[in-house]
């Protein structure tokens, strides 16, 4: 495998761009091929079987782009389909759940950790499982926040409606006395300030996107797969593919990532 080969990153839509942003910051030499399944978003209300089938199609597409490693930048995919993806990929695969769980387990002082995410991620109890492997005494409280994804996709990032919905979703977590809260959906870092305001200063927010990029860096170092060459920005270093609505995607992506996304290509993912 060529070290200058790109990293494949995918998500149900635009949320995974928060992971891309962290990879760009932490390992700026790496090339990235991103796929956002904008035609079939959201994943968080879909069944395990459907999410797995979609993820395997995406892995087959990314493999065709000769990626050297794959990041499943979606909590629902990481919760439901990581084993299947690893089987399909036969190159290193990283999800977002394990890195987030590890940091939360290290961060908490009172051993009370909250997790917010989609219905699928929370229902799978996967964060609970990983956290308890590290710290069996930890208490993990999950809360599904299904409207957050729609509110982010509508751009209501600093808005009284988002505040009101956040207060409803988070009130039980505030009452429970957690000191650490995992943002268990890659859309949520975009409303981090709202969540932080509602939870108050005593609660540390964990962003798995940041931790995932760190873990990716470590993995590439260990496997001697880091890209030593530096690239000029804009020279095909970052490529973006979606299953629908490329223009809408570009607009949104440019508001998250500051490198200027020149183009995104629409593909028919059902063919893979």
Of 161-220, which residues contact a copy of itself (CB under 8 A)?
A: 161, 164-165
Half-sphere exposure of 13 (CA within 13 A, CB side): 20
CA distance 164 to 176: 19
Question: Which region among 18-26, 184-192, 210-218, 240-248 touches a copy of itself (by CB under 8 A)?
Answer: 240-248
CA distance 44 to 247: 24
- How many residues interact with a copy of itself (rule CB under 8 A)? 23
Helix, strand, or coil (residue 11): strand
56 binds a copy of itself (CB under 8 A): no
**Structure token pair of residue 58:** 């995406």
Task: Give the CA-trace dihedral at 133, 101, 182, 149, to 10 degrees.
Answer: -110
145 is a catalytic site residue: no
Secondary structure E strands in 86-185: 93-95, 112-117, 139-144, 180-183
CA 171 to chain centre: 24
- Shortest Å, Cβ 39 to a copy of itself: 5
Strands, sheet with 69-72, edge to edge from the N-terminal-most edge strand:
93-95, 69-72, 7-11, 32-36, 238-242, 265-266
Question: Which region among 41-49, 135-143, 192-200, 204-212 touches a copy of itself (by CB under 8 A)?
Answer: 41-49
Question: Annotated catalytic residue: which of 122, 185, 191, 216?
Answer: 185
DSSP state, residue 143? E
* Nearer to a copy of itself (CB atom), residue 45 or residue 236: 45
60 binds a copy of itself (CB under 8 A): no
The one among 1, 25, 47, 251 contacting a copy of itself by CB under 8 A: 47
Question: Annotated catalytic residue: which of 74, 145, 165, 183?
Answer: 74
Q: Which of 266, 222, 261 lies closest to 32 in space, CA to CA? A: 261
185 is a catalytic site residue: yes
Write each residue from 140 to 169 as x if it is in contact with a copy of itself (CB under 8 A), else as -, in one continuous string. Answer: ------xx--xx--x-----xx--xx----
* Nearer to a copy of itself (CB atom), residue 57 or residue 75: 57
- Shortest Å, Cβ 96 to a copy of itself: 22
* Nearer to a copy of itself (CB atom), residue 119 or residue 179: 119
Which residues, listed in sequence order, are joined to residue 66 by a DSSP beta bridge?
none
List residues near a copy of itself by CB under 8 A. 39-40, 45-47, 50, 53, 146-147, 150-151, 154, 160-161, 164-165, 243-245, 248, 266, 268, 270
Q: List active site positions.
A: 74, 185
């Amino acid at each position: 495998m060529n070290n200058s080969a790109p990293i494949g990153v995918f998500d149900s839509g635009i949320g995974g761009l928060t992971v891309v942003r962290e990879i760009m910051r932490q390992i700026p030499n790496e090339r990235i091929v991103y796929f956002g399944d904008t035609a079939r978003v959201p994943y968080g209300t879909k069944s395990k079987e459907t999410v797995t089938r979609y993820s395997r199609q995406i892995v087959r597409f990314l493999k065709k782009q000769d990626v050297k490693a794959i990041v499943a930048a979606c909590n629902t995919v990481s919760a439901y389909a990581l084993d299947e993806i690893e089987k399909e990929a036969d190159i290193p695969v990283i999800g977002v759940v394990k890195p987030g769980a590890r940091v939360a387990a290290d961060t908490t002082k009172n051993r009370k950790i909250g997790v917010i995410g989609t219905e699928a991620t929370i229902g799978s109890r996967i964060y609970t499982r990983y956290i308890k492997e590290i710290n069996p005494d930890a208490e993990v409280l999950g809360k599904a926040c299904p409207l957050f994804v729609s509110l982010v996709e509508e751009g209501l990032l600093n808005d009284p409606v988002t505040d009101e919905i956040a207060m409803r979703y988070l009130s039980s977590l505030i009452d429970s006395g957690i000191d650490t809260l995992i943002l268990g959906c890659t859309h949520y870092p975009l409303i981090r300030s709202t969540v932080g305001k509602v939870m108050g200063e005593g609660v540390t927010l964990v962003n798995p996107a940041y931790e995932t990029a760190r873990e990716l860096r470590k993995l590439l170092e260990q496997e001697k797969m880091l890209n030593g060459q530096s690239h000029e920005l804009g020279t095909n270093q970052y490529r973006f593919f979606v299953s629908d609505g490329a223009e809408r995607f570009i607009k949104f992506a440019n508001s998250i990532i500051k490198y200027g996304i020149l183009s995104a290509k629409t593909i028919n993912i059902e063919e893979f």
